[in-house]
Amino acid sequence: MSSVMPLKRKIDLQYQDLVTPQRFQVYTDRQLDKIKPLRKLPEAARFAMQVVSSVLPFRVNQYVIDELIDWQNIPHDPIFQLTFPQAGMLAEHDFARMADALRAGDKQQITAVAQEIRAGLNPHPAGQQLLNVPKLGEDTLDGMQHKYRETLLFFPSQGQVCHSYCTFCFRWAQFIGDKEMRFSAKEASQLHEYLMQQTAISDLLITGGDPMVMKTSHLVNYLEPLLKPEFEHVQTIRIGTKSLTFWPQRYVTDDDADELLFLLEKLVKAGKHVALMAHYNHWREMETPIARAAIRRIRDTGTVIRSQAPLLNHINNDASVWATMWRTQVRLGIIPYYMFVERDTGARHYFEVPLAQAWQVYRQAMQQVSGLARTARGPSMSAGPGKVEIQGVSEVNGEKVFNLRFIQGRNPDWVQRPFYAQYDDQATWLDHLKPAFGEAHFFFEAEYRAMLDNAAYD
Ligand code: SF4
């Protein structure tokens, strides 16, 4: 039984007239024809959506359709690109194969073609299955990842979907039923036991899917026990979420919104640092009255909101979009935290931006904002060996190079160590880069390969 008592908070007066409760209504690939604004699109465009959503996951809710997408600006609208499948998200030959299968109408063929195409889209990037799975005694804990010494990632089973799906999602495979990709833990007790044993863990990151799709009572079961003295070492609780964009009602008008805010406040008052790691791709996501009300209410609990997002072609590949987003966030009390490089999975060819260009976008955006918005790190690749940041482009003894550093590493000793790669204006990921200055390998490669070998035989 939850010990969190309902706390009736009044919606801020300035939003009172603008925010009315809304029922959560969601559409998947089977209900594309029920989405009214799509009916105005040409038949070919609607068929293309059907083709792509037969391979990649699709889910969108009525709030996104009604309030975030500018239907006068289709297909270029960034939120439309963020949520609706586009023909270019599949390679031409894959698109043609799925289109043929759909026209033939053979269910078995459609499933077989979808599986083949998915297998070619690197569904399991960055060695997640192999390297990061923690153990309790002989039991592996497949709802958790322990990649960096001080941080534990936890994937609660009730939080493995999202209020809508992003078209570029790096966890896309878990949404189409790939069980290997579905990290999810059923047992709060396993989480607590592991945390109790691992006193080097200072940060718990609850992630998904989106943990904020869970009822507050589930969050209470996971989080409230951390107030006991044996969890004193767990100082920070981070919650990764895109609910501030896709369903801000979660914090304002949902039935258990007040209980959720009360839980956050209770954790903060007990001395925990509670951080909402908000996924924002575009400033437009923060423009609606309910999105603003949600931000205000969360901040009132003492919870810190930090923002992070990948740089994506078709959505935010523009320095002024980032500058406006970071400025808006600072005004609303959100701390800009990360610009990521699009991961090497799914529809990456549609969204990817070369590293050299990504650095230019980051740099130009930084030049347009004041110091308080320059807290965003990046562009950063969450690669197998760790988080690698592109710090710049230099010329050293006549050789053009990328300056790189580990922001986070599998070996803590790698962190903050500068290293250099040959400049390559086409490279889009760490494994495209070659060491500079005639070196045969990057300094971390041998050790990382040994980690992979050990894990394989573990
Ligand atoms: S909110 Fe996150 S996990 Fe969910 S679809 Fe978007 S990127 Fe993927």
Which residue from 242, 247, 280 has its CB within 8 A of the most atoms of ligand 1, so it is best to mutate? Answer: 242
Ligand 1, residues at Cβ distance < 6 Å: 162, 165-166, 169, 171, 208-210, 242, 279
Cα of 28 vs centre of ligand 1, distance in Å, is: 15
Specify the pLDDT at position 128.
56
- The C-alpha atoms of residue 390 and residue 382 are separated, in whole angstroms, by 12
So what's the pLDDT on residue 22? 83
Cβ-contact 326, 332 below 8 angstroms: no
CA angle 366, 299, 365 (to 5 degrees): 10
Beta pairing, strands 236-241 & 273-279: parallel
Distance (Å, rounded) from C-alpha 441 to C-alpha 392?
A: 20
Nearest to 143 by CA among 151, 152, 155, 131: 155
Distances in Å between the alpha carbon of 4 and those of 116, 159, 188, 238? 47, 20, 17, 19
Please choose, from the candidates 2, 16, 109, the residue with its C-alpha nearest in 3D space to the C-alpha of residue 54.
109
Instruction: Give, using CA atoms, the residue closest to atom 1 of ligand 1.
Output: 242
Closest ligand 1 atom to the C-alpha of 164? 5
- Residue 56 Cα, ligand 1 centroid: separation in angstroms? 13
Residue by residue, pLDDT tens for the chain (458 residues) are 445 444 445 445 455 555 677 889 999 999 999 999 999 999 999 999 999 999 999 999 999 999 999 999 999 999 999 999 999 999 999 999 999 999 999 999 999 999 999 999 988 776 555 667 788 888 888 788 888 889 999 999 888 899 999 999 988 888 887 665 555 566 888 999 999 999 999 999 999 899 999 999 999 999 999 999 999 999 999 999 999 999 999 999 999 999 999 999 999 999 999 999 999 999 999 999 999 999 999 999 999 999 999 999 999 999 999 999 999 999 999 999 999 999 888 899 999 999 999 999 999 999 999 999 999 999 999 998 999 999 999 999 999 999 999 999 989 999 999 999 999 999 999 999 999 999 999 999 999 999 888 876 55
Whether 244 and 238 have beta carbons less than 8 Å apart is answered as: no
b/e map 268-280, b = 16+ CB within 10 Å: beeebebbbbbbb
Q: Which residue's CA lies nearest to atom 5 of ligand 1?
A: 165
Q: What is the pLDDT of residue 299?
A: 98
Q: What is the pLDDT, as a whole number, of residue 5? A: 47
Q: How far is the CA of 316 from the centre of ligand 1 (A)?
A: 16
Nearest to 316 by CA among 3, 9, 82: 82
Distance CA 393, CA 91 (A): 31
Residue 14's pLDDT is 52
Cα 165 to its chain centre, rounded Å, is 10
In the numeric block, which tokens belong to residue 286? 């923060």
pLDDT for 177 equals: 73
Q: What is the pLDDT of residues 231-247, one digit of tens each?
A: 999 999 999 999 999 99
Residue nearest to atom 8 of ligand 1 (CA): 169
CA 123 to ligand 1 center in whole angstroms: 14
126 phi-psi bin (left φ>0, alpha ψ -120 to 50, beta other): left
Tokens standing for residue 96: 């043609």
Among 58, 162, 276, residue to substitute to test ligand 1 (most atoms within 8 Å of Cβ) = 162
Question: Model's pTM, two decimal places?
Answer: 0.92
- Tell me which residue has its CA closest to atom 7 in ligand 1: 169
Query: pLDDT tens digits, residue range 288-338?
Result: 999 999 999 999 999 999 999 999 999 999 999 999 999 999 999 999 999
pLDDT at 1: 42
**Amino acid of residue 174:** Q
pLDDT of residue 137: 81
